């Protein structure tokens, strides 16, 4: 099986991981930090706002089962992409909505989906940024909702397409 990777930030990474992991074709997920300047940031450093990182989910997926475009559309369906630096009660730059593209094909797809949303008259605040580095979060953050038996409070699925 050939897998590809995608990186999404949409508020608290626990909820983003919860929803993305449920998709057929998603092989593996990890939560962590992307888009900042510090090396090996900790959760506390990221939450302080000093590193510039966003809470991010790394998604390994099988493109023969689910396309990158389907992932991007689903990403937009599980959070409020019109908010800047927040999701629900979580406020700060680390909770921003951002897609980190790994190549020009991913960038093009992300921009096309955003254009589709704008044509539907959504005010999209999501950034599209070149991927540089993913720093895995501490173990206790990985698969948090699956381990705790709780459900996301900042994310809900809403049908857009």
Positions annotated as catalytic residues are 12
Residue 41, φ and ψ in degrees, nearest 5: -70, 150
- Give dist(CA 97, CA 128) in Å, integer: 9
Pairing of strands 97-101, 127-130: parallel
Instruction: Using only the alpha carbons of the chain, give its radius of gyration.
Output: 14
Q: How crowded is residue 44: how many other Cβ atoms within 10 Å of its Cβ?
A: 9
For residue 128, give the nearest of 60, 37, 54, 74 by alpha carbon.
54
Between the two ends of the chain, the Cα-to-Cα distance in Å is 29
Q: How crowded is residue 129: how many other Cβ atoms within 10 Å of its Cβ?
A: 17
């Amino acid at each position: 099986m050939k897998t590809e990777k995608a990186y999404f930030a949409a508020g608290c990474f626990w909820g983003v991981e919860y929803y993305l992991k449920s998709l057929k074709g998603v092989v593996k997920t990890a939560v962590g930090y992307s888009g900042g300047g510090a090396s090996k940031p900790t959760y506390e450093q990221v939450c302080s706002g000093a590193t510039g990182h966003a809470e991010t989910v790394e998604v390994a997926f099988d493109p023969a089962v689910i396309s990158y475009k389907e992932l991007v559309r689903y990403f937009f369906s599980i959070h409020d992409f019109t908010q800047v630096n927040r999701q629900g009660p979580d406020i700060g730059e680390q909770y921003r909505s951002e897609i980190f593209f790994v190549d020009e094909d991913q960038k093009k797809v992300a921009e096309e989906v955003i254009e589709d949303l704008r044509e539907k008259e959504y005010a999209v605040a999501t950034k599209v940024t070149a991927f540089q580095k993913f720093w895995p979060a501490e173990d206790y953050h990985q698969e948090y909702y699956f381990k705790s038996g709780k459900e996301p409070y900042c994310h809900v699925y809403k049908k857009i397409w």
